[in-house]
Structure 1
Amino acid sequence: MLTRDTTHTLTDQLVARFAERIRSRLLPAGTRLPSVRACAVQQGVSPHTVVAAYDVLQAQGLIESRRQRGFYVRDYVEKSVKATANKAQDAIKNKTLKDAVSLSLPAASARINATSLIRGMMHKATHPQPGAGMLPADWLQNQFLQSALRKVVGLEELRTMSWGYGVPMGDEMLRGLLADRLKTLGLPVIADQVMTTVGATQGLDIVSRTLLKAGDAVMVEEPGWSVEFARLAALGMQVLPVPRGADGPDLATMRRYCETHAPKLYVSVSVLHNPTSYSLRPASAHHILQLAKEFGFYVVEDDTYSHIAPEHATRLSVLDGLRRTIYISGFAKILAPNWRVGYMAAPPDMVDRMLDTKLLSTLTSPAIMERAMALCIENGQLRRHIERVRNRLVQARKHSVQLAQQAGCQFVTEPAGMFGWVDTGMDTEVLAQRMLDENYLIAPGTLFYASRQPSTLMRINYACTQDATFWHTYQRVRAEFP
């Protein structure tokens, strides 16, 4: 809480607190700040102090006052783009072509609310964060990764490879093992259809840059991964949100989009969808593939959570046999987030185009990390590690559900996978600000909607919500609001 001392006034402390969160994007553009009265109660200060702090933040260009609506965080990225645009227009009017060229306009930036979630994931804290998108570090730590890396570094083949760019498609040994892994899921592929990527996120980017051009329409599930909304918007795509339910996406909405906008792509997390943890039902998958064939769009299946999901779960790529589908996955969620080892499997006639896009972005992928990952798979150590994590997650999920329900939260989806989708009964964007005061980062529901609509929902990470202290804090803060 704010302290009363002679060094810094309460106003200065309050300004510093909000300014740091805005500049670090933990409070993203468009966030509504608490009303003057509510902020005064929350921070234990007078309304006069809050008014003075908000005035300073406005003077710094960090927030803006909207008549009869309150105070909102400004999009200073957008402000910068507009300023550059104005300078360029002035240069053109003055017929100074050289200046106009030097002030070439950047692409319209995606809303930074998506990056706020990423920054939250990477925010260093002394305790687990309920809004985290990864498993805790102590769940992932092991000895076999280091052993595999030491072994790989000693191989003459890999030492030689380090002085070149390596194999463009990715480590051959790893791709062979990944092809075998996909066969166990029911997806018959050969190693030449598998390409490694710098994490699953790059796989999604490769697909977009290969199949789409600016202005194309893309269907994306909502609620969904806000980074995907922002990434597509940054590429100039028209994002079409499709409501995601327990069975799968809203098929009627998909058909309307197909008839009206002719989308080129549909992005789906079929298994353990983020944030709801829904898994696709066979009947829904069948209808999606029928729509894809009828209207000619491709489906990119993001199977990021494949290692903690049942192998028999319905996957679009398996039903389709990689005709109109592209499969993407990786190891960040289960083993080594910072190694950024991902992979994709595509139709044979599309592989070369995908490889060209990869070459233009990263040239190749880290061979040493990929070969070390291959050794972990080959000797069975990864499989045993996955079993341990799965068992631990089952127990954590049971405990977290119990604590959440005791704290008054209601699960709006059946608990499964890594994440819980819970209803708090209040605007979770407001709740997130107060929880930051308590050093807890939560993932408010608004981050998972393309339109950034207010939401009473929040996503919790089962592995990071085992401490009753968090839930006691949540209850105390929640009680401050009507």
Structure 2
Amino acid sequence: MALTDPESRTTLLAEVMETIRGRIANRSLTPGMRLPSIRGCARSMRVSKSTVVEAYDRLAAEGVIRSQPGSGFYVTAPLAPLSLAETGPERVREVDPLWISRQALGAGDDLLIPGCGWLPPSWMPVEGLRRALRAAARAEPAGLADYGTPLGLPALRALLARRMAGHGIEAAPGQIMLTESGTQAIDLVCRFLLNPGDTVLVDDPCYFNFHALLRAHQVKIVGIPYTAAGPDVAGFAGAVAEHAPRLYVTNSALHNPTGATLSPVTAHRLLTLADQAGMTIVEDDIFADFEAGPAPRLAAFDGLSRVVYIGSFSKSLSASVRCGYIAAPADWIEGLVDLRIATAFGGPALSAELVLTLLQDGSYRKHMDTVRSRLARAMEETLAQLRRIGIAPWIEPQAGMFVWCRLPDGMDAADLARRMLAEKIVLAPGNAFSHARQAGGFLRFNVAQCEDERIFAALARALA
């Protein structure tokens, strides 16, 4: 932070103190850590050494830091409670991922949410869910009241193994563990593999909740520019060489937010680099059932050696019926199960039964056939509407619900989102997805949530 306003020594003093408190709050400075030297702090903050001396003295008087003669100043304040809002870069609320999610999740009937990441409830197989619930209600008492097994419902895991084989991924049922969601699955993998301070690579742009989840694990995030064929391979190689990352988290098919699909050539190069670096790849494939044709899977090329495969039914079946899964190397499963028990105890027993019923009776297959057809029509209609008002797609996705769009030159997505909120429309500005904050002129649209003409009318007025 550069403090360049010399107008008031009092103001400068307060800003220095607030900066130190902020670094303690966001855990950049933790108990026992040495503060920058007086000279170094004065130079970096562009203030006088006397201002820093007074700021340190006042913070010491408050008990936030302590002086150790001949050595410097050290943090004495207790470890601050983790605040994800504090750990990330400062953002206006319209591009803060957690704020966007809160608005979309709390949306009433009067709020339009083209920036959200899920299908409308009216698109979901509600009648099939009701039938599955009625069947579950007739189950033995243990099925309604007891904890699930550590790995999860065996019949569903066996069925998932067969479904994965359709994507070329060979996984025995014993390599699959059910979770409450794809997010919980990634969280467990992070708990299993990461320590605070480790480096994790993500696509830039990527699903914005990856940023928040990784910040919760207190790791260093490095973004890799994303292209229409996958991450930039040269950038990926450079980041691997410079940062020695522990993980890379990505979507290979129907990438969120861009809608792009990983090419086979890029997939092979990524796996070669990961193998050379001893790095694990987490392949989040929760949109697998939305694709119109098969796309390359890192887990298929790798054989679940360095790739952990994540799936979920929250986006395709029901956000209320929470059921996801992890497919991992066989010798990792026991450790993941232990973490699962420690953090959530039993598995999603009732949700797993509902998912199994819908998969087995054909309801899910028919539902997804309908969804893919509806999404294809919605994509065509949404792209036509956006082009009409001067918003162009980065690429035309082959399938799925997302389209990544470039605004007219000079238009800022955060500013547009702020104005649309006054019209009761929640957008998803590009910098919510960009760790480097290089996507200020982009928006992600969910075509399934763009059926209301008021969205395009409001956007047209704003762009006029």
TM-score (norm 1): 0.78
Question: Per-residue displacement from partner, 1:204-241 (whole Å, max 9, x unpaired)?
Answer: 11111101111111110010112101211221111010
Question: In the alignment, what sits opposite 1:390?
Answer: 372
2:205 paired with 1:215: no
- Contact between 2:177 and 2:327, CA under 8 Å: does it hold in 1? yes
Where in structure 2 are the equivalents of 1:143-292 lying within 5 Å? 143-156=127-140, 159-292=141-274
The alpha-carbon distance between structure 1 residues 171 and 87, as it changes in their structure 2 partners (threshold 3 A), is farther
Match of 1:452 among 422, 437, 441: 437
Q: Hey, what does 1:373 align to over in structure 2? A: 355
SS across alignment from 1:441: coil
For the residue of structure 2 that corresponds to 1:244, the secondary structure is: strand
State the shift of 1:279 in Å. 0.4
Name which of 102, 115, 139 aligns with 1:119.
102
Aligned to 2:3: none
* Counterpart-to-counterpart distance in 1, 2:292 and 2:462: 37
**Does 1:90 pair with 2:70?**
no
Q: Displacement, 1:357?
A: 1.6
Give me the whole-angstrom Cα distance separating, in 1, the residues matched to 2:443 and 2:118.
Answer: 16
- Aligned counterpart in structure 2 of residue 142 of structure 1, from 126, 134, 139: 126
* SS of residue matched to 1:129: coil
State whether residues 431 and 437 of structure 2, in contact with CA within 8 Å, keep that contact through their aligned partners in structure 1.
yes
- Let me know the Cα RMSD of the aligned residues: 2.8
Task: Tell me if the contact between 1:121 and 1:134 (Cα under 8 Å) persists in the aligned partners.
Answer: no
What amino acid maps onto 1:326 in structure 2? V
For 1:17-96, list aligned pairs within 5 A. 81=25, 90=63
**2:317 matched to which residue of 1?**
335
> Equivalent of 1:410, from 392, 396, 409?
392
Report the identity percentage.
33
Return the match for 1:300 from 272, 282, 302: 282
Q: Provide the rounded CA distance (Å) in 2 between the counterparts of 1:177 and 1:366.
A: 16
Per the alignment, in what secondary structure is the counterpart of residue 338 of structure 1? coil
Q: Which amino acid aligns with 2:452?
A: D
Gaps of 5+ in 2: 1-10, 13-17, 32-58, 68-74
Residues in 2 aligned to 1:398 and 1:407: alpha-carbon distance in whole angstroms:
15
State how far apart, in whole Å, the 2-side matches of 1:356 and 1:471 are.
Answer: 49
**Where does structure 1 lack aligned partners over 5 or more consecutive residues?**
1-65, 68-73, 95-99
Give the deviation of 1:344 after TM superposition: 1.2
Question: C-alpha separation between the residues in 1 aligned to 2:22 and 2:125?
Answer: 40
Match of 1:433 among 406, 412, 418: 418
Q: Report the 3-state secondary structure (helix = DSSP H, G, I; strand = E; otherwise coil) of the residue aligned with 1:143.
A: helix
Of 129, 150, 153 in structure 1, the residue corresponding to residue 113 of structure 2 is 129
Q: Deviations for 1:139-194, whole angstroms, at most 9, x for unmatched residues? A: 114211111112112111xx224444220111112111111111111112111111
Q: Secondary structure of the residue that 2:294 maps to in structure 1?
A: coil
Q: Give 1:45's aligned residue.
A: none
CA distance in 2, matches of 1:435, 1:444: 11
Taking a change above 3 Å as real, the CA distance of residues 104 and 287 of structure 1, as seen in their structure-2 partners, is closer
For the 8 Å contact 2:252–2:296, the answer to whether it is kept is yes
Residues 26, 82 of structure 2: 8 Å contact kept: no
In structure 1, the partner of 2:7 is none
- Do the aligned partners of 1:200 and 1:343 also contact (CA within 8 Å) in 2? yes
| 1:296/1:173 CA distance change after superposition, 3 Å | same
Q: Distance in 1 between matches of 2:439 and 2:24?
A: 26
Whether contact under 8 Å (1:153, 1:368) holds in the other structure is: no
Aligned length: 401
| Of 106, 112, 122, the match for 2:81 | 106
Give the counterpart letter for 2:124 in structure 1: L
CA distance, structure 2, for counterparts of residue 388 and residue 88 of structure 1: 67
| Structure 2 contact 152–177 (Cα < 8 Å) conserved | yes
The one-letter code sitting in structure 2 at the alignment partner of 1:328 is: I
**Alignment partners' CA distance in 1, 2:279 and 2:185:** 18
Task: After superposing the two structures, state which structure 1 stretch, 83-92 or 371-380, moved more.
Answer: 83-92
8 Å contact from structure 1 (residues 132, 461) kept in 2: yes
Is contact 1:187–1:321 with CA below 8 Å preserved after alignment?
Answer: yes
Q: Any idea what SS the aligned residue of 1:312 has? A: coil
Partners of 1:108 and 1:142 lie apart in 2 by 37
Secondary structure of the corresponding residue to residue 231 of structure 2:
coil
* 1:294 shift after superposition: 0.8
- Report the residue type matching 1:123 in the other structure: G
Name the residue aligned to 1:39.
none
Aligned partners of 1:120, 1:91: CA distance in 2, in Å? 36
1:328 offset after TM fit, Å? 0.2
Partner of residue 36, structure 1: none
CA separation in 2, counterparts of 1:454 and 1:389?
Answer: 29
- The one-letter amino acid of 1:181's match is R
| Structure-1 separation of matches of 2:24 and 2:425 | 31
1:450 counterpart SS class: coil
Structure 1 contact 226–447 (Cα < 8 Å) conserved: yes
Contact 1:258 1:295 in 2 (8 A): yes
Name the aligned partner's letter for residue 460 of structure 1. Answer: F
User: Residue 391 of structure 1: CA displacement?
Assistant: 0.7
Output the CA distance in 1 between the equivalents of 2:148 and 2:455.
47
2:460 is the counterpart of 1:478:
no
> What corresponds to 1:462 in structure 2?
447
Q: Indicate the SS of the match to 1:337.
A: coil
| Cα shift at 1:369 | 1.3
Per-residue CA deviation, residues 418-464 of structure 1 (Å, 9 max, x unaligned), is 11111122101000110011111110111011133461110011111
SS in 1 for 2:458: helix
Partners of 2:24 and 2:384 in 1: CA distance: 47
Shift of 1:92: 7.3
* Alpha carbons of structure 1 residues 92 and 153: separation in structure 2 relative to 1, 3 Å: farther
SS at match of 2:320: helix
